[in-house]
Amino acid sequence: MILAAGRGERMRPLTDTRPKPLLEVAGKPLIHYHLEALARAGFRQVVINHAYLGWMIERALGDGSHWGLRIRYSPEPPGALETGGGIFNALPLLGQAPFLVINGDVWTDYDLSRARVSGGMSAHLLLVANPEYHPAGDFALQDGLVCEGAGMRLTFSGIGVYRKALFQGRSPGAFPLAPLLRKAMARSKVSGERLVGHWVDVGTPARLSELDRMLGPRK
């Protein structure tokens, strides 16, 4: 699943006329990099949620056949449903097996085929070194488990693998994902690893320009 429902307030005015996942980096929309990476990793079915200017995303990507994928869309109401609510809303499209979720506004060269959640775990998160704009990090990683404990903290990359059980007991509506993860962490049900490779949170026009320079002109 690619999360693409955000308004992209920090990206304004670039997002006044197009959704953030369609902003171009090195000659193509950011979301194309995800679709290419998913196809390389062996995925064949992709769910994309959307809200703000969602029709533009559907028009731009179609059914996914261009990438050898089958794309299905999970529309959300104006204002979107936050990360947890957005994933919950899409659960009927995601099947029964564990599923990968990636934020639509990050870029990485990580091999997505490596992301796995082991038996007994509710989630598996990919973590990165804390960027300068988020020095406190999000979670600690101890002996392969993500937790709130002491020690070196890392930043959640926006890439994770989840089981449906993580959302058990929730009701439809807008809600964040972090409280569900923290509840599972308290039961030692969230594993994690350091992301191997490059990763960029494309959250501002400056970081978008930086990524564009890094990748260079290409189609």
Judge whether 127 and 188 are in contact, CB under 8 Å: no
Residues 74, 2 contacting (CB under 8 angstroms): no
- pTM for the model: 0.93
Mean pLDDT, rounded, for 183-195: 95
Backbone CA torsion sign across 125, 136, 140, 179: negative
| Helical segments of 52-108, H only | 54-61, 82-90
- Rounded distance, CA 176 to CA 45, Å? 25
3-state DSSP assignment of residue 47: strand
pLDDT tens digits along 113-171:
999 999 889 999 999 999 988 898 999 999 899 998 767 799 999 999 999 999 999 99
Res 92 pLDDT > 70: yes
Taking CA atoms, 215 is separated from 96, 107, 130, 199, in Å, by: 36, 11, 22, 12
- The answer to whether residues 202 and 214 touch, using CB atoms and an 8 Å cutoff, is no
Q: Which pLDDT value is given to residue 56?
A: 95
- Nearest Cα to Cα of residue 4 among 28, 44, 34: 34
Structural domains of the chain, ranges and CATH numbers in brackets: 2-215 (3.90.550.10)
Element spanning 108, H or E: strand 106-108
pLDDT (average), residues 171-190? 95
Give the sign of the dihedral formed by CA 108, CA 80, CA 47, CA 167.
positive
SS3 for 24? Answer: strand
- At 217, is the pLDDT very low, low, confident or very high (cuts 50, 70, 90)? low
How many Cα atoms within 13 Å fall on the side-chain side of residue 6? 20
Per-residue pLDDT of 9-54, as tens digits, reads: 777 887 888 898 999 998 899 999 999 999 999 999 999 999 989 9
Higher-pLDDT residue of 16, 87: 87
